[in-house]
Amino acid sequence: MGESSPAVANLTKRRLAEGRVVTGMMVRLTRTADIATIAASCGFDALNVDLEHSQLTLGETAQICVNALSAGITPLVRVPSHDPSFMGRVLDGGAQGLIVPHVQSVEEARAIAAATRFPPGGHRSMGGTGPLLRYAAVPTTVAAPAVDAETLVTVMLETSHAVGQAEGIAATPGVDMIMIGTNDLCADLGIHGQLGHQQVLDAYAEVARACKAHGKHLAVGGIKADLTLLGKLVALGARYISANTDMALLIGAARAHAEELRQLRA
């Protein structure tokens, strides 16, 4: 939407449209809203509150998302299932986008797109004003398209079967981005942990072609430290990189600091 839109601008969606590489830190450990400000201060474009692999509550998630909107960082949430009511509650709580795991078919992608868009493009329930509208009283005829325009819907492909459906999934209206869950794909292929395996590269190339053909964005999930491999995937067309978790970053920094202190001798 233009500058007159009542909805908070989705900065990640804009940067992706410009062809920039954007990064999102995953949140699994931190319960307090200041993690959004910290992630923004550290230079991330987005944060991804991971409700698939954490014990974070909807209330905690909403507080993080609302603070992210003020901090100038895009709040995304990975939901644990395809439940439309759950997705709606997360979006009502301030998320500017969803990452939906375990998508296996075009039919599932269509259902997700419909659950995350207001009529006539979908069947998301109108919940009144909220954080994405800055709690302003906005007519539904204006609010619905404004919020839809700032919502980033990402589906995850995590099996070889799902990768084979990439063409149809990428063609689905309302799906903005396709993320490959690299670790789960490796597990499905029987090559646990071999993130740079040729089969993985082939899968990325196949999904990248589908994304390019249908004007969708390609996202990388599960590859954190291998910058050479990430560079290859960016060259293929990947533009969103799911960075490490708050837990892993804390553990890594704490371990390195403890190691430094152990060098001290009396």
Max CA distance (Å), the chain: 72
Confidence of residue 3 (pLDDT cuts 50, 70, 90): low
CA neighbours within 13 Å on the CB side: how many for 201? 11
Mean pLDDT of the residues in the chain: 97
* Coil/strand/helix, residue 219: strand
Structural domains of the chain in order of their starting residue, each with its CATH number: 11-262 (3.20.20.60)
What pLDDT was estimated at residue 120? 95
Percent of the chain whose predicted confidence (pLDDT) is above 70? 99
The whole-number average pLDDT for the span 239-245 is 97
- pTM of this prediction? 0.95
**Catalytic residue at 53?**
yes
Q: Give the tens place of pLDDT for each residue, 144-193.
A: 999 999 999 999 999 999 999 999 999 999 999 999 999 999 999 999 99
Q: Give the tens place of pLDDT for each residue, 84-143.
A: 999 999 999 999 999 999 999 999 999 999 999 999 999 999 999 999 999 999 999 999
What pLDDT was estimated at residue 143? 96
Q: Which residues contact 86 (CB under 8 A, 6 or more apart)?
A: 79, 80
What pLDDT was estimated at residue 2? 44
The residues pairing with 22 across neighbouring beta strands, listed in sequence order, are: 240
The H or E element spanning position 242 is: strand 238-245
